[in-house]
Structure 1
């Protein structure tokens, strides 16, 4: 009899605990931004105007040492959405959809669907639409870039009439139009409409904002926030002693109309592009403000955790280079802000964390937050850091970048020093090494590898690198050829 009573009591406790846990599972809203470096007011930018993102930082925890696993769209996004590193997935290029090589890997939307959430993808979330469509309850795919300046529209029409294939317009566009005339304005509109429909459901929503990815297309009012002539031209000097393949020829930018195929850009065009990058940032900042205001208006903020993140960093003329595609600090360091749901009584606001965290940590963190049973991850939960921002866990954050199939660049940071090795993919021989100090700056101009003064630091960084990338490591290769 006593056993039956005890069993019944335990059952009641477990059932009550389960119901309580389900009730307390928060909604999750992720702003996933493309090509955004830590060029924001809250990160100390002297030029970028980002009031809405700055307010989000005041309402949560801003991570000062967050890193992506590879500075290119497709692999970095796969890594975030699976919690697995590029070297685990074996994908290092933009030409290989995740599901073409990994049918059974569990993604964030799949796990949340399984656990009763409505899952929403808006805009660019995965790089490939073929990875997206079947994993979400609600799906608004990424849209093509639009131009609204009449001169640019006429130019593109002319190029098409001349039989040009894969026509890319200019690298920037400015027109006196409403936000919805460009795709990120429409993404914000879809997000708000979907929130209104799902306000009584548990939801996971990814809002993929494409700017400030090229082309830098944004309404004129965001361009008007800045004076082009006040932008400083970055130094075109490359780090002394850098590996010959440390940088690319930034072909991504050179594919746009009006960009010289060879040599550095002149100062006037450089300022136009820097201006466009900043206008694009302010444009997406406004869209984030609209969506977060909708959360408030719908009384959803009290039970919604917000993640603001970027897939990788970016160069706008620094080192005489553009775009990403490298192991440099400016390309692998990313902005990351996490603001807990308002009804979490112990939530931290206005805090800055210097803990080393990585984009690959997002999935395990959401699993920890919601109390799910998750798959095996390469990342780790940073929920304890969100709750205690001064806490430090990892001693190293790592990234990589392949140069074709023959050379792999692997890199590690301890938050101040960055050590990179370029290895022969077959023999594992170290072809070259780089050591840079990034105490207070995203840039560093002298490779200190081999300098006797920094020998102990280099040995320590080598050891940290090898915790993730052992010297004899063979890298899985699942990349498919470009079609």
Structure 2
């Protein structure tokens, strides 16, 4: 009996050792303010060859959603596997660790299990948040302005720089080129270790500063001005005042912006996307050169979507489809026999699912998560999956917007944050477009759809639930 017990222990030890040996590296490209405006997603204006190549090597998710269309809460959600309404943080002002000391984060879990954990660029919204969970927390570059006219603006005390710039400089003249260089340096430094590396590229976030090379890739005259019409009967607080853009020098208070400035900003957004794409290419090339690609899983994702003039609005800060839908590409390591390449999945997935997905792939025991591992979808992209994806957006302390999509319809309830009393409802059709120009809630002919979507949303946000946790709400 004793010999059998010893034999079993030896087998378990061997299997555990093999599992540890087979654990892949993880490289996450975490992009700021990137909507699904990429060549691989069908954009006719984006120039993104490196991201397109990555999509051809993995599974591209066509219906991926963030949990809140703003930086800090969305990133905390990804890095904890917990939704904003679980964490109770809905604004950009409060770091995770100020409120939640005990929550186990993705880098913390991987570090505890023998991985080197590296953060470059923007990963958490707050740079030093969760700092003890990183083996290496690489200094994040600040906004860079180089042209004399921009520097003249900045010379005035307290002034914010222009919303865009196109200096004729090398890639590392601006932020994302520096982040790419840091990521490449980290790959060389940790090439012999198991690693979890987040590369947080900051473009296309404002300001739209990118080397002139990337502006010149695009013909400004080819950009169409999107409709500035707001959806008919839209809830009055559904869209934000887009003060984020208005804070930059040279942006007038007028609403909507004139066509010339709109086209320039659209040009700048696209230039920044192409600039970021080139940096992705450099990091991927280094993976190949170091012979790391064969054992490295790649995740390419955005923290939330973005508006570039649609509805006459800008930036994110809402529950509309174009703000909560995100690009997501996952590419398994090349020596994985289960690897699926060049596939598109229409499964409804969420950024909160990334935590469970990575822990399962690496064989780690995961803490309780609000997400769901996407491993089955990576094996079979056409598998029947979730019925709904949900997001939230708070308007101050008293109003919470709860939204749900089934992939074709989006239903939103604006509620009293404490009582869950419904203050307004919205129903939009998105079968063929990210945009919708009429709120169909309460309209004849759509009652069955609305009732079904209401049931789906309220299964995730019960009307008899406790008040929404309020560890940090928006200030306005």
Report TM bin, short chain. Answer: over 0.9
Question: Which moves more between the two structures, 216-225 or 5-14?
Answer: 5-14
What is the CA-CA distance between 1:392 and the residue it aligns to?
2.3
Q: Is the 8 A contact 1:412 1:418 kept in 2?
A: yes
Shift of 1:481: 7.9
Is 1:405 the counterpart of 2:405? The answer is no
Counterpart position of 1:107: 105
- 1:408 aligned counterpart, secondary structure: strand
**Does 1:470 find its partner at 2:462?**
yes
Question: Residue 363 of structure 1 is aligned with which of 324, 346, 355?
Answer: 355
1:284-303 residue pairs with structure 2 within 5 A?
A: 284-303=276-295
In the alignment, structure 1 residue 94 sits paired with structure 2 residue 86: no
How far apart in 1 are the matches of 2:384 and 2:362? 22
Partner residue of 1:250? 242
* Structural mapping, 1:300-319, within 5 Å: 300-319=292-311
Matching of residue 441 in structure 1 with residue 433 in structure 2: yes
Residues 66-98 of structure 1, C-alpha deviations (whole Å, 9 max, x = no match):
000000000000000000000000000101111
Answer yes or no: is 1:67 the counterpart of 2:65: yes
Which residues of structure 1 form unaligned runs of 5+? none
Misfit runs of 4+, over 2 Å: none
Q: Which one of 35, 46, 49 corresponds to residue 48 of structure 1?
A: 46
449, 460, 472: which one pairs with 1:457? 449
Counterpart in 1 of 2:214?
222
Structure 1 residue 262: Cα displacement: 3.1
Alignment counterpart, residue 80 of structure 2, candidates 72, 79, 82: 82
Instruction: Provide the C-alpha distance between the structure 1 equivalents of 2:335 and 2:373, rounded to a whole number of angstroms.
Output: 21
Q: Following TM superposition, by how much is the alpha carbon of 1:55 offset from its aligned partner in structure 2, in angstroms?
A: 0.1
Instruction: Check whether the contact 1:83–1:362 (CA below 8 A) recurs between aligned residues.
Output: yes
Q: Which residue of 2 aligns with 1:29?
A: 27
SS at 1:334 equivalent: strand
Partner Cα distance (2:474, 2:32) in 1: 24
Offset at residue 142 of structure 1 (A): 2.4
Give the one of 149, 152, 160 matched to 1:151. Answer: 149
Q: Aligned partners of 2:174, 2:133: CA distance in 1, in Å?
A: 26
* Matching residue of 2:117: 119
1: CA distance between counterparts of 2:217 and 2:384? 38
SS in 2 for 1:290: helix
The question of whether the paired residues in 1 share the 8 Å contact of 2:62 and 2:344 is answered with yes
Displacement of 1:387 in angstroms is: 1.4
Aligned to 1:410, what secondary structure does the other structure show?
strand
**1:132 CA drift (Å):** 4.0
Aligned residue for 2:312?
Answer: 320
Report how far residue 4 of structure 1 moved.
Answer: 2.2
Q: Kindly indicate whether the alpha-carbon contact (under 8 Å) linking 1:96 and 1:480 is maintained by their aligned counterparts in 2.
A: no
Distance 1:258 1:237 in 2: 24
In the aligned structure 1, how far is the partner of 2:384 from the partner of 2:111? 32
Q: Distance in 2 between matches of 1:133 and 1:26?
A: 23
2:144–2:174: 8 Å Cα contact kept in structure 1? yes
| Aligned-partner SS, 1:337 | strand
Of the three residues 114, 129, 142, the one matched with 1:131 is 129
Gaps of 5+ in 2: none
CA contact (8 A) 2:214 2:274 kept: yes
Aligned equivalent of 1:181: 173
Q: Render the CA deviation track for 1:247-296: whole Å, top value 9, x for unaligned.
A: 01100000000001232211110011000000000000000000000000
Tell whether 2:406 aligns with 1:414: yes
C-alpha distance in structure 2 between counterparts of 1:15 and 1:105, whole Å: 29
Distance in 1 of aligned mates of 2:400 and 2:87:
15
Q: Could you tell me whether the CA contact under 8 Å between 2:80 and 2:106 is conserved in 1?
A: yes
The 1-side partners of 2:130 and 2:213 are apart by 33
Deviation at 1:226, TM superposition (A): 0.5
- Other structure's SS at 1:129 match: coil
Question: Could you list the per-position Cα deviations for residues 24-68 of structure 1 after superposition, in whole angstroms to 9, with x for gaps in the alignment?
Answer: 000000000000000000000010000000000000000000000
Tell me which residue corresponds to 1:347.
Answer: 339
After superposition, where does 1:205-216 map in structure 2 within 5 Å?
205-216=197-208
> Residues of 2 paired with 1:12 and 1:132: CA distance?
37
Does the residue aligned with 1:147 lie in a helix, a strand or coil? Answer: coil
Residue 172 of structure 1 is matched in structure 2 by: 164
Relative distance call for 1:407 and 1:481 in structure 2 (3 A) is closer
TM-score normalized by the length of structure 1? 0.97
For the residue of structure 1 that corresponds to 2:111, the secondary structure is helix
Determine if contact 1:81/1:363 at 8 Å carries over to the other structure: yes
| CA RMSD after TM alignment | 1.0
Structure 1 CA distance for aligned equivalents of residues 139 and 119 of structure 2: 7
The TM-score normalised by the length of structure 2 is: 0.98
Per-residue CA deviation, residues 170-228 of structure 1 (Å, 9 max, x unaligned), is 00010110000111101000101110111110000000000000000000000000011
